[in-house]
Chain A
Amino acid sequence: EPEVTQTPSHQVTQMGQEVILRCVPISNHLYFYWYRQILGQKVEFLVSFYNNEISEKSEIFDDQFSVERPDGSNFTLKIRSTKLEDSAMYFCASSVEGSSGNTIYFGEGSWLTVV
């Protein structure tokens, strides 16, 4: 069964460093997302991406965040200057518009620890 894949599975970085999280969405999907989950809390929407541009973003997705689809398969999340509070599990997700509606499938997550 097709799945969303993410790398790295775990990254430790120093505060102030740039981090890039990578995702390969399901191949025929057209809508891509990033979510964040701080340990023990709920999943929070960060950004959605369609047709090579951001469709919607949350208040969490400030200027230090950016997304890119550099080629036909990868979807990346960049955090420019990491802060301690950026430590979380970051989930990539993708979906395709079907006749019924939109179903979002998640990757396994990238665990980011900022020290």
Chain B
Amino acid sequence: GQQLNQSPQSMFIQEGEDVSMNCTSSSIFNTWLWYKQDPGEGPVLLIALYKAGELTSNGRLTAQFGITRKDSFLNISASIPSDVGIYFCAGLNTNAGKSTFGDGTTLTVKP
């Protein structure tokens, strides 16, 4: 089946630093979604990307849909303590179809 490789697995950064994480796949996706998950809660959608090359921002977050349709990255600028959590990428191709999640990037922000 389709697999997403998400990296890094974890990050320990100082408050105020920028963060970058990415997902790559051997398969093409038509949509990339980025989620943040806090412990014991459901994933919360951060950014949705629908077109190859698309660059989208949501506050301090910026994500891009790779030109090859096989990768995407998420950047967080000027990190703050509440950015702590697990970030997941997800790729999907069809409506009502299977979505594939990355393994997650655990972000720790030290004040």
Count residues of B near A (Cβ-Cβ below 8 Å). Answer: 28
B87 to chain A, nearest CB (A): 11
For the complex, give the distance between the alpha carbons of A111 and B42 in Å: 11
For the complex, give the distance between the alpha carbons of A31 and B42 in Å: 18
A70 at the interface (CB under 8 A from B): no
Residue of B nearest to A102 (CB): B95
A18 at the interface (CB under 8 A from B): no
A82 at the interface (CB under 8 A from B): no
For the complex, give the distance between the alpha carbons of A48 and B50 in Å: 20
Query: Which of B1, B92, B94, B102 is in CB contact (< 8 Å) with A42?
Result: B102
For the complex, give the distance between the alpha carbons of A56 and B48 in Å: 21
Q: Which residues of A contact B (CB under 8 A)?
A: 4, 31, 33, 41-45, 48-50, 55-56, 58-59, 91, 95, 97, 100-109, 111
